């Protein structure tokens, strides 16, 4: 049970939200879908006196904005699956959302933005955002701040979101030419152990590996994508210098399989 007395805030503007985050700094959490933060508060792993619900800010939409698809921070996995724009312009997000372990309850509550802000190395969203070259649009005391996804994930469970800031949108470039994706997990109920998203854009082939390390890792496969298995595996293995370990799988396993996961994502890309 949540042990603290909790004050619930439902601001109507970004400025108001930031003001609350600043005023109660250190004793406040942002509420997305709540699928991660609320159980953690129930287990007393997170304690806070204030909770800021972003539902009043109109961030639950997916829109096309010029060269970008703009995904609000409150867009759920279910919304991603339902969105025609996502299906057309950012199918990788749809692939990712469709392979989330949680069932309907989770898909209808959990947000991709929340997953990003939580920054769990063993999760699907970070590497996909990095692979797509997304931009994370934060709001804070200084107004809007735009951070490339590749810089957003700082460490395990640490992101670029600073004091008084929260995530408003994620902007994903439209029309990435070709993508391939592969996710390895231990069984249906397991979180991701290693994921790979491969993007071919112009002449370049870039793989982004998720869950293998504290933050997503990018590998330029352009020169070796047609080489043998060993070349790719060696490149990936050497790149996963500091592999992530959790109860489900140790770093050694993640490192050992990362090459195969990348190759399977490449094969997926080729098969279209």
Partner 1 sequence: MTAMVPASAGSSRREPALGAVEQTRRKHGDQLLVGRGGYLDDHEPPGTLHAAILRSPHPHARIRSVDASAARRCRSVRAVVTGAEALSLAEPLPHFFDPSLVGGRTTTVRVLAVDKVRYVGDPVAAVVADSLADAEAALDAIDVDYEILPAVVDAEDALAEGAPTVFDEWGDNVLIRFPFAEGDPARALAMAPHVIADEIRIQRYQTAPMEPRGYLAHWEPTGKLTLYASTQIPHPLRTNLSTIFGLSEDRIRVVATRLGGAFGHKFNGYPEEPLVCLLSRMTGAPVKWVETRADSLLVGAREYIHRFSVGFDDDGRILAITDRIIGNIGCLATWGGWSMTYPAGMTLPGPYLVSDYDIESIAVVTNKAPWNGARGYGKESATVAIERMVDLVAAELGMDPVEVRRRNLIPPERFPHWTVAKHLDSGDYRGALDKVVELAGYHRQRELQRDAREQGRTRGVGVAFELTPEGGDFAGSYVRGFDTSTVRVSPSGAVTVLTGVTSLGTGSDTGIAALVARELGLTVDAVSILQGDTDSCPYGFGNFSARSLATGGGAAVLAAREVRERMALAAGVLLDTPPEGLVFAGGHVHTADGGRSIAFGAVAEQVYRRAYAVPGLDQPLLEATKVDRPRNLTHQPDEHGRMSAYPTFPYSTHVAVVDVDAETGQVRLLDYTCVEDCGVQINPRFVASQIYGAIAMGVGGALFEELPYDSAGQPLARTFTQYLVPRANDLPAIRLDHQCTPSPYTLLGTKGAGQSGVGGAAASLASAVNDALAPLGVRITTMPLSPPTVLRAIRSGGKP
Ligand X SMILES: Cc1cc2nc3c(=O)[nH]c(=O)nc-3n(C[C@H](O)[C@H](O)[C@H](O)COP(=O)(O)OP(=O)(O)OC[C@H]3O[C@@H](n4cnc5c(N)ncnc54)[C@H](O)[C@@H]3O)c2cc1C
Contacts of residue 25, defined as CB under 8 A and 6 or more positions apart, other chains included, come to 163, 164
Nearer to ligand X, 133 or 191 (CB): 191
Determine, following the binding rule CB under 8 A, whether residue 193 of this chain makes contact with partner 1: yes
Determine the 3-state secondary structure of 270 from DSSP. Answer: helix
Cβ atoms of residues 44 and 87 within 8 Å: no
Per-residue DSSP letters for 65-120?
A: ETTEEEEETT-BHHHHHH-HHHHHH-HHHHHHHHT-SS-HHHHHH-BHHHHHHHT-
Determine, following the binding rule CB under 8 A, whether residue 253 of this chain makes contact with partner 1: yes
Q: What are the phi and psi torsion angles at 120 (to 5°)?
A: -70, 125
Beta bridge partners of 29: 51
Least separation, in Å, of the C-beta of 222 and ligand X? 28
Partner interacting with residue 115 (select from partner 1, ligand X, none; CB below 5-8 Å by kind): ligand X
Partner interacting with residue 253 (select from ligand X, partner 1, none; CB below 5-8 Å by kind): partner 1
The CA distance from 85 to 89, in Å, is 6
**Among 51, 207, 211, 249, contact with partner 1 (rule: CB under 8 A):** 249
Determine, following the binding rule CB under 8 A, whether residue 4 of this chain makes contact with partner 1: yes
Residues forming contacts to ligand X in the complex (CB under 6 A) are 29-37, 54, 73, 100-102, 106, 109-111, 113-115, 117-118, 123-125, 161, 166-167, 191-192
Nearer to ligand X, 56 or 191 (CB): 191
Determine, following the binding rule CB under 8 A, whether residue 186 of this chain makes contact with partner 1: yes
Residues that bind partner 1 (CB under 8 A): 1-4, 39, 43-44, 184, 186-191, 193, 246-250, 252-253, 256-257, 260-261
């Amino acid at each position: 049970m949540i042990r603290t007395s909790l004050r619930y805030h439902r601001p109507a503007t970004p400025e108001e939200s930031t003001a609350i985050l600043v005023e109660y700094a250190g004793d406040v959490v942002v509420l997305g879908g709540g699928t991660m933060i609320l159980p953690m508060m129930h287990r007393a792993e997170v304690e806070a006196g204030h909770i800021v619900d972003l539902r009043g800010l109109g961030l639950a939409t997916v829109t096309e904005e010029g060269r970008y698809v703009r995904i609000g921070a409150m867009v759920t996995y279910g919304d991603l699956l339902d969105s025609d724009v996502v299906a057309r312009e950012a199918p990788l997000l749809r692939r990712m959302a469709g392979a989330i372990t949680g069932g309907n309850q989770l898909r209808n509550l959990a947000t991709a933005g929340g997953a990003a802000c939580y920054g769990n190395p063993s999760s699907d969203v970070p590497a996909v955002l990095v692979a797509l070259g997304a931009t994370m649009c934060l709001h804070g005391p200084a107004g809007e701040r735009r951070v490339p996804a590749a810089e957003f994930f700082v460490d395990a469970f640490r992101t670029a979101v600073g004091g008084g800031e929260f995530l408003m949108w994620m902007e994903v470039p439209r029309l990435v030419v070709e993508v391939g994706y592969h996710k390895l997990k231990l069984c249906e109920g397991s979180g991701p152990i290693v994921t790979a998203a491969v993007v071919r854009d112009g002449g370049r082939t870039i793989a982004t590996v998720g869950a293998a390390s504290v933050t997503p890792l990018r590998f330029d496969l352009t020169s070796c994508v047609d080489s043998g298995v060993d070349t790719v595996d060696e490149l990936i293995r050497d790149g996963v210098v500091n592999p992530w370990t959790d109860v489900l799988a140790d770093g050694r396993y993640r490192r050992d399989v990362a090459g195969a996961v990348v190759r399977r994502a490449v094969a997926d890309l080729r098969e279209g």
